[in-house]
Amino acid sequence: MSENSSQNTPSALAKLWGGRFDAPTDALIERLNNSLVFDGRLWRQDIAGSVAHATMLGKTGILTPDEAAQIVAGLEALRGDLAQGVVILPPDAEDVHTAVEVLLKERIGAVAGKLHTARSRNDQVCTDIRLYLRDECDNLNTKIAVFQGTILEVSAQHFDTILPGCTHLQHAQPIVLAHHLLAYYWMLERDRERLNDTRKRINRSPLGAGALAGTGFPIDRGMTAELLGFESVLPNSLDAVSDRDFAIEFLSFAAITMMHLSRLAEEIILWNSPEYGFVLLDDGVTTGSSIMPQKKNPDVAELARGKTGRVYGDLMSLLTLMKGLPLAYNKDMQEDKEPLFDAVDTLHLVVPAMQKTLATAQFRTERMKRATAGDFSTATDLADYLAGQGLPFREAHEIVGRVVRYCIEKKIGLEQLDSDSLAEFSPLLRENPDAALAVLTVEACVAARNSEGGTAPKSVRAQWILANETLDDPTNNPLTGNYRVE
C-alpha cells in the first residue's frame, strides 16, 4: 500500500452518511470521490432547490411551519453571505449539497438535518443542473442574439459589396458580402431555436423523485416545481433521477453552434491572409509574434476553431458516460458536470469574442471586387442568356465552354471580351452581342440572381428585413412557420 493511500482524513463533519461506517474514507478515495471542486459553482441552484423543498415540507405539514421557516431563513441568509464572500464553501465537503447543509447546520443547528426529509442527493443534483442550464440557455441566447445583431449591422453596409462566391473553394459565382454574412445569421438563428427547444425539456422538475423510487412522505411535487419555475413534473422517478438526455441535448446545441462559429472563424482566417486580403482585423482581436515583428495573427478565430474540438469532446464524453448505465442513479453520473461547465464556459468566451472580431473587422471591398476579375464566374450567366434566347441549356453550356477556352488562350477575362469576338461563337450572339456582353459584368450577374434568398442586392435586402424582424420578435420566425407577412 502506498503511503498516500493509507493516510485517512477524519472529515466526519463534511459527510452526510457517516453512521454506517467505522473508519474514515481513504484520503486518495476522498479525492476521487470529491465533486465540490467542480460542482461548488452550483451553490445558488442548490440553495434555491432547498428553499423550495423546505417551503413545501412546511406547507404539507411534513415539517412544522416553524421548522420550515427556520430552514428557509437560514438558507436565505446563507445565500446572502455566500454571494458577498462572507462565508465560503467548506473545502473538505464531499460535494456542493454537503457543503450547503454543513453551513446551514452551523447557522441553525440540528433542525438543518430536517431539510433532507423526503429528498435524496440524486433528485437534488439533477434539480441543480436543470436550474443551472435553464439560466445558461437564457444567457447564451442573449449573447448569440447580440452576435446576430452585429451581423445585421455589418451586412447593412455591404448589400453592394461584390466578392467571389465559392464552391470547392473555387470561384463559382459572384455574390454580395451581406448575402455571405447573413448565411451565418440564419445558422445562429437555428442554434437559438435549438436552444429554446432544449430549454423546454430542461425545464421539468425531477425534485421529489427521491433516491429513485419516490417517497412515502406526502410531498407535493407540483408545488416545488412551481416554486422553482419548472413547467412540469417528470412523471417517472427512476427516469427523473437517472437520465441526462437534457444535458446531452444542450451539448448538441453547443457542439453545433461551435461548428458554425468555427466555419466563420476559418473564413476570417483565410480572408485575413495576405493571399486573400479581404479583411483587416482590429488590433484588439489579434496578437503578435514574439519573433516575427510583422505578424498579426487571427488568434480569436483560431481559438474559436480550436475550441470547437473540445466542445465536441464534451458532447462525446457525456454520450459515452451515459451509454450502458443501468437504471437508476450511478456515481458515474457525477462526471456529467465538467463537460457541461466546460461547454458553457467556452461558449461564453467564444461567442462574444467572435462577435467583437466581426464588429471591428474592416472589409477590403476593393480587393474583394478585384478578386472576381478574370475568374470566369459570370460564365453561367452567358449560358443562361443563351438559354433565355431559346437554346437548350446543354448547348448553351457547350458554347460558353468554348468562349472560356478562347479567353484562357488569349489570357483575358470574360468581361474583357469585345463584341466582335463574342459574335463568332453563335448566331444567337451575333444578333445582339452587346446585350450578351452586358450580362458578363459581375454587377449584372449579381443583380440577375433576384430569386428569393438569392444574391441580388434587392433579394438580400429583403432577406435582411426578414432577419431583422425575426431577431426583434422571436415569435415572428419564418423557420417555425410563425412569420407574419405584413
Site string for ligand ARG, 269-288 (x = CB under 6 A): --------------------
Pair type for strands 204-205 and 232-233: parallel
CB nearer ligand ARG, residue 106 or residue 338: 338
Angle among Cα 148, 153, 155 to the nearest 5 degrees reads 90
Q: Candidates 15, 53, 79, 121: give the one binding ligand ARG (CB under 6 A).
A: 121
Q: Does 432 bind ligand ARG (CB under 6 A)?
A: no
Q: Candidates 11, 15, 25, 35: give the one binding ligand ARG (CB under 6 A).
A: 35
CB nearer ligand ARG, residue 100 or residue 125: 125
Residues 197-256 that bind ligand ARG (CB under 6 A): none
Q: How far is the CB of 331 from ligand ARG (least distance, A)?
A: 6
CB nearer ligand ARG, residue 121 or residue 364: 121
Q: At what angle do helices 245-272 and 177-202 cross, to 10 degrees?
A: 160
Q: How far is the CB of 324 from ligand ARG (least distance, A)?
A: 17
H helices of 34-176, in order, are 36-39, 43-59, 65-84, 96-108, 121-156
Q: How far is the CB of 307 from ligand ARG (least distance, A)?
A: 25
Q: Does 45 bind ligand ARG (CB under 6 A)?
A: no
Q: Which three cell numbers stand for residue 231?
A: 413547467
Count the site residues for ligand ARG by CB under 6 A.
10
CB nearer ligand ARG, residue 331 or residue 411: 331
H helices of 157-212, in order, are 177-202
Residues 79-98 that bind ligand ARG (CB under 6 A): 95
Q: How far is the CB of 362 from ligand ARG (least distance, A)?
A: 48
CB nearer ligand ARG, residue 1 or residue 17: 17
Are 318 and 332 in contact, with CB atoms under 8 Å apart?
no
CB nearer ligand ARG, residue 329 or residue 385: 329
Are 265 and 305 in contact, with CB atoms under 8 Å apart?
yes
Q: Does 125 bind ligand ARG (CB under 6 A)?
A: yes
The active-site residue out of 2, 155, 168, 459 is: 168
CA torsion through residues 448, 451, 456, 459, sign: positive
Q: How far is the CB of 94 from ligand ARG (least distance, A)?
A: 7
Residue 317 a catalytic site member: no
Long-range contacts of 386-391, Cβ-Cβ distance < 8 Å, separation of 24 or more: 386/426, 386/428, 386/429, 386/436, 389/428, 389/431, 390/428, 391/426, 391/428
Picking from 179, 177, 185, the residue whose alpha carbon sits closest to that of residue 363 is 177
Give dist(CA 382, CA 395) in Å, integer. 12
Region of 119-127, 155-163, 179-187, 374-382 interacting with ligand ARG (CB under 6 A) = 119-127
Q: Residue 68: is it exposed, middle or buried by C-beta count within 10 angstroms (0-12/13-18/19+)?
A: buried
The active-site residue out of 116, 252, 289, 377 is: 289
Picking from 105, 43, 37, the residue whose alpha carbon sits closest to that of residue 74 is 105
Torsion of CA 55, 58, 63, 68, to 10 degrees: 50
Picking from 204, 156, 198, 193, the residue whose alpha carbon sits closest to that of residue 177 is 156
Q: How far is the CB of 87 from ligand ARG (least distance, A)?
A: 21
Q: Which three cell numbers stand for residue 255?
A: 457542439
Picking from 140, 132, 119, the residue whose alpha carbon sits closest to that of residue 228 is 132
Q: Candidates 122, 127, 215, 377: give the one binding ligand ARG (CB under 6 A).
A: 122
Q: How far is the CB of 325 from ligand ARG (least distance, A)?
A: 12
Residue 290 a catalytic site member: no
Q: How far is the CB of 55 from ligand ARG (least distance, A)?
A: 22
Site string for ligand ARG, 321-340 (x = CB under 6 A): --------x-x-xx------
Region of 19-27, 120-128, 386-394, 460-468 interacting with ligand ARG (CB under 6 A) = 120-128
Strand, coil or helix: 327:
coil
H helices of 323-392, in order, are 337-360, 365-371, 379-388
CB nearer ligand ARG, residue 129 or residue 467: 129
Q: Which residues bind ligand ARG (CB under 6 A)?
A: 35, 39, 95, 121-122, 125, 329, 331, 333-334
Active site residues: 168, 289
